[in-house]
A and B are shown apart, each in its own frame.
Chain A
Amino acid sequence: TQLLEQSPQFLSIQEGENLTVYCNSSSVFSSLQWYRQEPGEGPVLLVTVVTGGEVKKLKRLTFQFGDARKDSSLHITAAQPGDTGLYLCSSDSWGKFQFGAGTQVVVTP
């Protein structure tokens, strides 16, 4: 079973600041997904990264996959209150999806 470690566990920042959250594993990821979950809802997929060194951008969100495919980061530029949520990384092993514990991000106006 691949263990996904996310850091930090909690992040509180002011609107307009930047933030980065991390997802690490001792094993190589076949692919990695980032989700955002808001209270009372299920997670929503943000991005999937597959290739080592890959960088994907989604508006103010930048996702990076490590060269060795063992780590990934999510960077948010100029955070807004709408970015508040639980950010989860996930990877799969033959159909069994593993999730990290998540980083709770709170962006205050």
Chain B
Amino acid sequence: GAGVSQSPSNKVTEKGKDVELRCDPISGHTALYWYRQSLGQGLEFLIYFQGNSAPDKSGLPSDRFSAERTGGSVSTLTIQRTQQEDSAVYLCASSLSPTGGDTQYFGPGTRLTVL
């Protein structure tokens, strides 16, 4: 596709359920990033991938969060046993490489609501 796509666009779930969020980066982009944005706030960095590897997972809020990337393309962010504080917009971005200053292209986000 022409840009970064994310699915679903909206997800409403009950507390305690697991959710899986998907990101399709721009073709050829080796770097992929996940962020979380609470209402009216800036972006909280979660994790980035260089290819299929995640050099730094320290941004993940808890061990209920995990992410993987396969084939150097699609990535999934999984949240287990969701809590109400997990409610936020989850944004994915990709860039040609993770070097400083390289342009990140963002998807429209997945709005997660945990009831």
Contact with A along B19-36 (1 / 0, CB 8 A): 000000000000101010
Query: Which of the residues A42, A101, A102 comes within 8 Å of B109, measured between beta carbons?
Result: A42
B95 to chain A, nearest CB (A): 10
The reply to whether A100 and B42 form a contact with Cβ atoms under 8 Å apart is yes
Q: A41-B108, A42-B109 are in contact. Are A99 and B101 (CB under 8 A)?
A: no
* Residues of B contacting A97 in the complex (Cβ-Cβ under 8 angstroms): 33, 43, 45, 48, 104
Output the nearest chain A residue to B41 by Cβ-Cβ distance: A101
The reply to whether A50 and B101 form a contact with Cβ atoms under 8 Å apart is yes
B61 to chain A, nearest CB (A): 15
Within 8 A of B (CB), among A29-86: 30-31, 33, 40-45, 48, 50, 86
* Residues of A contacting B50 in the complex (Cβ-Cβ under 8 angstroms): 95
Q: List 5 A-B contacts (CB under 8 A).
A: A31-B101, A42-B93, A45-B103, A96-B45, A97-B48
